[in-house]
Amino acid sequence: MTDLVTLQAGWALWSKQPGTRQDYSVLGCSPAPFNRGEFEAIITRFAVGSPDVTLTGAAALPWVTVSWVGVDNDQHIGISVTDHTGQVDGFGRTITQRAYFCVSYAQLSRTPISYCDLYDAVTAQAPALRVADGPMIQLTVPALSSDRLADAVRRAGEQTVMATAALLLSGPVSVVHAEGTSLRDRLEFIDAVTSLLPYGYRVRFSGTTWSDTGTKHRVRLAFAARPSEGAAVVPWRGPVEIPAGNQLSLAYCSRLRQLGQDPALSRGTPGLSAVIAQLAADGAARTFEQPQSAFDSLNRGDLPGLARWLAARGDLDADQRGYWASQLGRLRAYTPQAQAWLDTALLMVDGLPTALPPAQEAGAAVYGQALAEAWTELSDSYPAFSGESCAGGLARYLGGQHWTATNQQALAVTVVVRWLGDFDRQLVLGRTVASTLAATPAARDWDFAQDWLAWAAANEPEVIMGRLAAAQPGAAPGSLVELCAQAYRKGIDPDRALRALAKSGALTGEDLAFQVLAGLQQELAAAAADEDVANAWLFRFSELLAAGEFGIELGQRLRALVSERTRRDLWLELRFLEIFAAAGRDRECEWTSDEREELAAIAGEIESMLRKSRKFQLPKKLRNPFGGGPEEDVVRGGAGQAGEHGTVPVQGGPE
Amino acid sequence: MPKTKGRPPATPMQATGKIGLWGAPGSGKTTFLAALSIAANRASKMRDNRLLLFGADDASTDFLIQQTALLTRDMQFPRATDAEHHLNWVLRMNIAAPGRGFWRPTEAVPYEFELDVLDAPGGRYKDRSPGGSVGDDVQATNLRLFGSDTAVAAAPQATGGGESFVTDLAGCDGLVLLFDPAREWEESDAFSHFHGTLLKIAQRRLRDPARTTDLLPQYVAVCATKFDHNDVYRKACDLGFRSYSTGDRHFFPKVGDHLAERFFIEMGQVAPRSNAELIRDTLRNFFEEDRVQFFVSSAVGFRVDPDTGIFNEREFENVDERSGSKPRIKGPIYPINVIEPLTWLGGKLAAGRWAQ
C-alpha cells in the first residue's frame, strides 16, 4: 500500500476580474506562507508566456509549471496550473487563470513526492480556489514510488531521459518535437528526468509542460515549439547529444546508464528503481551551481561501480585524469571496503587515496583484502587496468604521509602492503614501506617491522655493491638484471655499479651480456625510470662493454653480435618499407614528400657515419658469426679505405 | 525616395536598436506589434519607400505569421499579454543619410535596423503604492524569496518576475509609449503606468557614470492609439483635429503630425482626472526636445466601404464591439502611424550612429 503524505499548501490565484480593463494580478491567496506581493513575484518570475486559448495539441491549455521559492531553511516547491476561465476582460480578450500552490520542502526532503502526484492533488483543489483570500489548503499526496518513476523513465526512453538529466546539471534544456504528446506525457517526462537527479535539486528546479519561445523565461526544463536561446536541445524521445567538452554531464549520463542496467542482466548494478530511490533519499538542498554534487550523490552507494566504470573507460588523457582525480577526491567512503574501491578509482586516475588505511589491524586487513580483490577483479575484466600502476600510486601516496607516527598506523600499512604483494612486482610499494620503516628509529622496537627492517638492510647500497662485485660467472641473466635494477633503485651511480659487475667476471659470453643489457632496458622501462637516468645506465653499460671493461674479447664478440643484429634489422625494415611503398602496375615505390625527406635524412646520416668512420677488420674467428648478411654491401656504401684498426682515418674526412 | 528597381541592390547599412513598448494594460501594445507587418507593407505601397519587416529568428517570424493571420484571417485581436515577450525583427528601409557633396545634402541609403522588441504585460508598468503589491521593496522581496542570486536564471537573458523588465526597458535605445485615450477617460491611470517606470529608467540610466548626457538618452515615440475608436474619432472631430490627406486614395481622416502633441493633451483633458499633460511635461523634462515625437495612431485603422472603396463617415469603425463577447475586426486593416514611429526611431538612431 502506498504511503500518503499530508501537506499544507499555500496558494494564489492569478487572473483578471472579468469585464475589467486591469491587468493580471493575484485575485486571491492564502495568508501564508507568502503575502500577496510575494505570490505575485513568484508567479511572474516563473511565467512562461501568454497562452493562446485557441491552440490545440501540446500548446493547448492547461500548462503546468513546477518551480521553487525560498532560501536557507524556508524553501518551498511550487506548482502552477494555467487554464481557461471562459471569461473575457474589458477589451473582450479571453482571460486565463493560473492557480499556484506551494508546499514546504522541509517535509518533502524527508518524504519525497513526485510532480505528477502533486499535480493530481492540486487539480482536485483548483476549482475550489476563489477570487478572494482564504486559508491554506490541505493536500494528500502519495509518497514517491521509485518503481513507478522507473517505469516512467522507461516509457519516456531511458537514453533520452538520462541524457536530459545530465544536461540539466550544466544548464537549461528545451524539449522539442513533443507536439503530439499529452500533458500527462510531458509532466511524467519532467518527473522522470528529475527522478534521476538528487532530490535536493528541487529547491532550485523549474520545469514546464509548455512555454512560449518568445518569452525568455527562467525555467530550466521547458517543453516548447522551438528551443530557447542558450538551452540544450532534447528532441522528444530522440537521440540526445551531450557536447564533448561537457565532461560532468557525459560522466553523469554514462554512470546513470551503467547503474540503471537491469541487475538481472548485469552483475553488480543496482538497477533503475534502486538508483531513483537512492537519489530521492538524497534530499539535502543544493543548487545547480553545485553540479558535481549530483555525481557524488550518484556514486555514494556504488563505489565499486564507479571503479569499474573508470576501468572500462581506460582511455583518459591527462586532463581527464586530473579532472576526475579532483572530482573523486571529494567523495567520502564510510567502510574499509568502500574506501578500498574509492581509493582504487582514485589511483586509476593518478589521484591519491583520500585517507590512510584504517589504523585498526582488522580494518586494515579488510581494506587490504578489498583492495587486492578489487584489483584482481579489475585486472581480469578490464585490459586497461594496471594493478602495478595502482601499487605505484599507493607508494607515492605513502611516501608523502607520516604513517609511521604510531605503531598501529604503521602496522596497518604493512598489513595492506602484504595483501598487495602480487601487484608489486617492481617492489615499489615494498621498498617504500621498508625504507620508511628503516628511517623510523621507533620501528626497531616494533615486532611487525623486523622483517621489513631486515629486508631494507639487505637492500642497502653497499650490500648491493657487494653483491654485484661477488656475482658468480655463469649466473642467470635475470639475477644480474635484478642486481643492476636494485642498484638503480638505490640511486647508485651506474658507472660504479657496472664496473663492480665487470670486475666480478659474471658476464662470460656475448649472449649473456646481450640478455642482461636487454633485460635491464626492460626493467628500467617497467620501473618508469626517467629517460635520462635509463639512458645513463644503458649507454654506460654499452660503453664499458665496448671498451673491453668486461673483457676485450667479450667486447668484440658483443660488438659483432650487435652490429650483425642491427644491420639485419635495418635490411628487414628497408624491405618492409619497399614492400609497402610499391604501387601501380610497375610496382615502383611511391613516397610522399615527408617520407622522401625523412628517408633522405636517414641515408645522409648513414653516409655521414661511414665518412667519419675508419675501416676495421674483425678478428677472423668473429667474421660473420651468424652466417649471411651483406657485410660487403654495407662497407661498399661507405668511403673508407683500407687501414689498421684504430689508426687510419677515413679518406676525405668529415664534410 | 526612389525605389532601387533595376539597379544592383546596395548593401544595407546595419545597426541594431532595442525598442521597448510601454503602456497601460489594453493600450494596444501587442496589437500594435501584430499590425506592424501589415503597416510596413501598406506604407511601402503608399510612399514608394520599400519597408521590409521580417523576423530575425524563428520565434519572431512565428509571431508575425500568427498575429498577422489573427488580424486578417480570424479578424480578432491578440490575447492579453501575461509574460514578457521578446521579439527580434529586422526593419529594412531607405533613410536620408548625409550626402556626398554640398549640392546633395542628403541621399537615400538602404538601412537595416535590427529591432529587439520587448512586450511586457501592461500591469508591470503600474506604480506600486505602499502597502500594495511588491512595492518599492522589490529587491528585498526578491532577496527574501530567491536569495542573493539574480543569476538563478536558468536561461541567459531570462526575464520574468521582479523588475527585470524595467532594467530591460532602461537598456532600450528607443521607446514606444502607447496612450489609449478611451481607456484614459474611464480609468485615468495612464500616468500611473508611466511615471514610476520612467523614474526607474532614470534611476538606471542617469546614475550611470558612463552617460554622455544629463537627460535620458532614449528616443520616445508617443502614440495616442485607437484613433479609429468611435469616441476618440468623434472627439477628434469635435476638437477640430481631423484632416485628410490629398494623396490618400481611401480618403482616411488623420491628425496632422504637427497637431499630434496637442491632440494627446486635449484627448486627456476630456477626463477631469487625467494627467496626460503631466505625462507630456515629464517627457519634455527628462528627454531632449528632439527625442520625443508624438503620433496619432490606430492599429486596425478605419473601415473601407466595400462598395465605394473609400472611408465612409457614417460607418467608419473597423471593430465590432457590440455583437459578441469579443470585439471583432470587420474588414481589411489599414494601420495608421504604426510603422511610422519605428521608421522615425530608426532614422533617429541611424543619424545618431552617423554623428558618432
What is the reported pLDDT for A365?
92
What is the reported pLDDT for B156?
41
- Cα A140 vs. chain centroid, distance in angstroms? 44
Of B152, B187, B325, the CB nearest to A204: B152
B contacts of A207 (beta carbons < 8 Å)? none
Q: Which of A51, A35, A197, A193 is nearest to A102 (CA)?
A: A35
Q: Which residues contact A101 (CB under 8 A, 6 or more apart)?
A: A9, A10, A11, A78, A79, A80, A118, A122, A125, A137, A139
Cα-based distances in Å from B90 to B25, B338, B342 = 26, 16, 11
- Alpha carbon distance A58, A186 (integer Å): 9
Cα-based distances in Å from B208 to A269, B19, B204, B215, B235 = 59, 20, 7, 11, 43
List, for residues A298-320, the tens digit of each pLDDT value.
887 778 888 888 888 877 888 88
- CA angle (B219, B224, B227) in 5-degree steps: 145
Measured in angstroms, the CA of A240 and the nearest CA of chain B are apart by 19
pLDDT of A448 above 60: yes
Q: Do B84 and A51 touch (CB under 8 A)?
A: no
More confident residue, A295 or A462: A295
- Alpha carbon distance B123, B82 (integer Å): 9
What is the reported pLDDT for A274?
86
CB B183 within 8 A of CB B190: yes
Restricting to B residues 79-108, those with a Cβ less than 8 Å away from any Cβ of A are: 79-87
Q: Do B160 and A215 touch (CB under 8 A)?
A: yes
Restricting to B residues 291-350, those with a Cβ less than 8 Å away from any Cβ of A are: 321, 324-327
pLDDT of A72 above 80: yes
Single pTM value for the model: 0.70
More confident residue, A46 or A590: A46
Q: Do B144 and A171 touch (CB under 8 A)?
A: no
Q: Do B134 and A41 touch (CB under 8 A)?
A: yes
Place of cell 657485410: A631
Measured in angstroms, the CA of A212 and the nearest CA of chain B are apart by 8
Of B123, B135, B145, the CB nearest to A70: B145
pLDDT of A158 above 90: yes
Q: Do B132 and A52 touch (CB under 8 A)?
A: no
More confident residue, B106 or B190: B190
- Alpha carbon distance B286, B113 (integer Å): 26
Confidence category of residue A179, pLDDT binned at 50, 70, 90: very high
Task: Select from A84, A215, A220, A233 the residue whose CB has the most chain B CBs within 10 Å, as the one to mutate to test that interface.
Answer: A215
Query: Per DSSP, which regions of A479-624 are E strands?
Result: 582-583, 588-589
Of B59, B152, B156, the CB nearest to A214: B59
Half-sphere CA count of A436, side-chain side, radius 13 A: 23
Strands B13-23 and B104-119: parallel
Half-sphere CA count of B65, side-chain side, radius 13 A: 7
B contacts of A70 (beta carbons < 8 Å)? 145
Of A42, A88, A216, the CB nearest to B159: A216
Measured in angstroms, the CA of A176 and the nearest CA of chain B are apart by 13
Confidence category of residue B105, pLDDT binned at 50, 70, 90: low
A contacts of B152 (beta carbons < 8 Å)? 204, 218, 287
Which residue of A lies nearest to B87 if distances are taken between CA atoms? A214
DSSP single-letter state for residue B286: H
What is the reported pLDDT for A29?
94
Can you tell me the mean pLDDT for B337-350?
A: 89
- Cα A66 vs. chain centroid, distance in angstroms? 34
- Alpha carbon distance B179, B26 (integer Å): 10
B contacts of A24 (beta carbons < 8 Å)? 80, 82, 121, 123
Of the listed ranges A240-244, A322-326, B332-336, the least confidently predicted one is A322-326
B contacts of A220 (beta carbons < 8 Å)? 154
Average pLDDT score over chain A: 87
Place of cell 620501473: A527
Confidence category of residue B131, pLDDT binned at 50, 70, 90: very low
The full length of chain B comes to: 356
Q: Percentage of residues in chain B with pLDDT exceeding 70?
A: 82
Q: Do A213 and B135 touch (CB under 8 A)?
A: no
Q: Percentage of residues in chain A with pLDDT exceeding 70?
A: 91
Task: Select from A193, A218, A228, A290 the residue whose CB has the most chain B CBs within 10 Å, as the one to mutate to test that interface.
Answer: A218
At the top level of CATH, which class does the domain B13-127+137-355 belong to? alpha beta
Can you tell me the mean pLDDT for A611-622?
A: 69
Confidence category of residue A644, pLDDT binned at 50, 70, 90: very low
More confident residue, B111 or A533: A533
Q: Do B145 and A34 touch (CB under 8 A)?
A: yes
Confidence category of residue A10, pLDDT binned at 50, 70, 90: very high
List, for residues B267-303, the tens digit of each pLDDT value.
988 888 888 999 999 999 999 999 999 999 999 999 9
Reading the block at residue B275, the C-alpha cell is 494627467
List, for residues B78-95, the tens digit of each pLDDT value.
888 888 888 888 888 877
B contacts of A21 (beta carbons < 8 Å)? 25-26, 183, 186-187
pLDDT of A646 above 90: no
pLDDT of A437 above 90: yes
pLDDT of A618 above 80: no
In this structure, is the dihedral angle defined by the CA atoms of residues B125, B129, B131 and B136, taken in order, positive or negative?
Answer: positive
More confident residue, A63 or A588: A63
CB A276 within 8 A of CB A158: no
Reading the block at residue B304, the C-alpha cell is 473601407
pLDDT of A57 above 70: yes
Of the listed ranges A45-49, A503-507, A638-642, B166-170, the least confidently predicted one is A638-642
CB B266 within 8 A of CB B232: no
SS3 content of chain A, % helix, strand, coil (to 5): 50, 10, 35
Q: Do A23 and B126 touch (CB under 8 A)?
A: yes
Half-sphere CA count of A441, side-chain side, radius 13 A: 0
Measured in angstroms, the CA of B154 and the nearest CA of chain A are apart by 5
Q: Does B73 touch chain A (CB under 8 A)?
A: no
More confident residue, A342 or B141: A342
Place of cell 504604426: B338
- Alpha carbon distance A103, A112 (integer Å): 12
Which residue of A lies nearest to B64 if distances are taken between CA atoms? A214
Confidence category of residue A53, pLDDT binned at 50, 70, 90: confident
For chains A and B, count residue pairs whose Cβ atoms are closer than 8 Å.
170
Of B79, B155, B325, the CB nearest to A217: B155
What is the reported pLDDT for B147?
84
Measured in angstroms, the CA of B332 and the nearest CA of chain A are apart by 20
CB A525 within 8 A of CB A481: no
Measured in angstroms, the CA of B235 and the nearest CA of chain A are apart by 20
pLDDT of B109 above 80: no
- Alpha carbon distance B6, B161 (integer Å): 51
Which residue of B lies nearest to A169 if distances are taken between CA atoms? B154
pLDDT of B247 above 60: yes
What is the reported pLDDT for B238?
93
- Alpha carbon distance B321, B336 (integer Å): 20
Reading the block at residue A194, the C-alpha cell is 528529475
More confident residue, A639 or B219: B219
Q: Do A214 and B60 touch (CB under 8 A)?
A: yes
Of A89, A214, A287, the CB nearest to B85: A214
The DSSP result for A384-423, as a single string, is T--HHHHHHHHHHHHHTS-TTSSHHHHHHHHHHHHHTGGG
Q: Does B63 touch chain A (CB under 8 A)?
A: yes
At residue B353, what are phi and psi to the nearest 5 degrees?
-65, -45
Place of cell 503600474: B126
Measured in angstroms, the CA of B323 and the nearest CA of chain A are apart by 11
pLDDT of B168 above 90: no
What is the reported pLDDT for A620?
59
What is the reported pLDDT for A498?
93
Of A36, A91, A216, the CB nearest to B133: A36
Q: Which of B275, B277, B184, B180 is nearest to B225 (CA)?
A: B180
Restricting to B residues 172-211, those with a Cβ less than 8 Å away from any Cβ of A are: 183, 186-187
Confidence category of residue A566, pLDDT binned at 50, 70, 90: confident
What is the reported pLDDT for B3?
45
Reading the block at residue B203, the C-alpha cell is 534611476
Which residue of B lies nearest to A204 if distances are taken between CA atoms? B152
What is the reported pLDDT for B103?
62
The ipTM value here is 0.79
- Alpha carbon distance B53, B36 (integer Å): 8
The most confident of A446-450, A545-549, B117-121, by mean pLDDT? A446-450
Place of cell 653499460: A541
Q: Which of A498, A440, A491 is nearest to A461 (CA)?
A: A491
Task: Select from B21, B66, B73, B82 the residue whose CB has the most chain A CBs within 10 Å, as the one to mutate to test that interface.
Answer: B82
Reading the block at residue A637, the C-alpha cell is 656504401
**What are the domain boundaries of chain B?**
13-127+137-355
What is the reported pLDDT for A264?
63
Can you tell me the mean pLDDT for A51-78?
A: 92
B contacts of A47 (beta carbons < 8 Å)? 82-84, 160-161
Gyration radius (Cα) of chain B, Å: 21
What is the reported pLDDT for B43?
84
- Alpha carbon distance B5, B18 (integer Å): 30
Confidence category of residue A249, pLDDT binned at 50, 70, 90: very high
Cα-based distances in Å from A38 to A31, A545, A635, B128, B134 = 11, 89, 96, 13, 7
- Alpha carbon distance A467, A484 (integer Å): 10
B contacts of A51 (beta carbons < 8 Å)? 79, 82
Measured in angstroms, the CA of A183 and the nearest CA of chain B are apart by 21
Q: Do A23 and B80 touch (CB under 8 A)?
A: yes
A contacts of B85 (beta carbons < 8 Å)? 49-50, 212, 214-215
Can you tell me the mean pLDDT for A605-632?
A: 63
Q: Does B8 touch chain A (CB under 8 A)?
A: no
Q: Do B26 and A91 touch (CB under 8 A)?
A: yes
State which amino acid sits at residue A107: Q
List, for residues B42-77, the tens digit of each pLDDT value.
887 666 678 899 998 888 999 899 999 999 999 988
H-helix or E-strand containing B138?
helix B138-146
- Alpha carbon distance B60, A162 (integer Å): 32
Place of cell 524553501: A75
Q: Judge if the upstream peptide bond of residue B2 is cis by omega within 30 degrees of 0.
A: no
Q: Judge if the upstream peptide bond of residue A33 is cis by omega within 30 degrees of 0.
A: yes
B contacts of A48 (beta carbons < 8 Å)? 83
Confidence category of residue A324, pLDDT binned at 50, 70, 90: confident
Measured in angstroms, the CA of B281 and the nearest CA of chain A are apart by 26
